[in-house]
Structures are given as C-alpha cells and as structure tokens.
Amino acid sequence: MFSSRDAFENDACPVGDEMLGQMYRANSNGLSLLVANVSPDVRAMLALFCYRRSHLHALALAVATSCTERELVSFGGRVGSTLYALSREPVRTATASHGGRKPITLSTKPLSTFAPVVDDEIDDETIGDAVTA
C-alpha cells in the first residue's frame, strides 16, 4: 500500500490494477462487498483517485459513500469535502431514451465546403528529370 501523500503526489492508484478493474466492473452489491474489504484510509484515497478521472466519477461517488467526511477531508481537503457532499446527494436517474448517456447534438449545417479537385496533367519529362537528378 502507498502512503496518502505518495498516492496523491504521484497520482498512483492506492489499490492494485486487478482490484480497481473488479470494482469498475462490479454491480452496486458486488462493489459494496469489494469496498468493505479495503481499509477506510485506502477507501478515501481511492475515492479521490477515481474522482480525478472523469470516466471513474460514478465509482468515486460509490466508494465515497462508504467514507466519512473526516476521512475524505483529511486526504483531499476541499475536494474531499465536495466529494463527500456529492456522494450524499440523491442519485439522478437517466431517461430511458438515452440509456444513461448524455445526448449528442449534431450540426445541421455543412461542416465545410471544398473546392473541386482539378486533375492537373503531370509532365512526364519533369518526373523523369527529378528521378535522374
């Protein structure tokens, strides 16, 4: 295990890659069991580690729910306090039409217009001169 200072300064994950992968793939019940096997200080560091990565925000919030405010603040300061508050907010449900994803907006105008390509005739003598030079 890493000390809290090393994990924060070196931006190293406080758990092994295998454990992080198991947590990432686990459902909510499985995640709570995995998190229960990790010490409270490592849980707080893990929540902060995940919170700094946008693709792991949901995992950060799930792990942070098992931490006390004091633990998160002692390892993350204001960020830890913010993470604690966010983890205690009610879960927002996504609409079924988007499958939990943010909607994508597409432009209705052409992105750019291109001039037609003019097929220039290449002078065979010029190419031959360049090859022999």
Closest CA to 56 of 94, 98, 23, 104: 23
For 70, the token pair is: 């004091």
Rounded to a whole number of angstroms, the CA Rg of the chain reads 26
Q: How many domains does the chain have?
A: 1
Q: Beta-carbon neighbour count of residue 84 at 10 Å?
A: 21
Question: pLDDT tens digits, residue range 109-129?
Answer: 666 776 777 766 655 555 555
Q: What is the pLDDT of residue 27?
A: 86
Domain that holds residue 39: 4-89
Residue 96's pLDDT band (boundaries 50, 70, 90)? very low
Residue 75 lies in a domain: yes
Residue of 87 and 99 predicted with greater confidence:
87
Q: Are 74 and 44 in contact (CB under 8 A)?
A: yes
For 49, the token pair is: 């580690």
Residue 101 lies in a domain: no
Question: pLDDT tens digits, residue range 30-60?
Answer: 888 888 889 999 999 999 999 999 889 999 9
* pTM of the model as a whole: 0.61
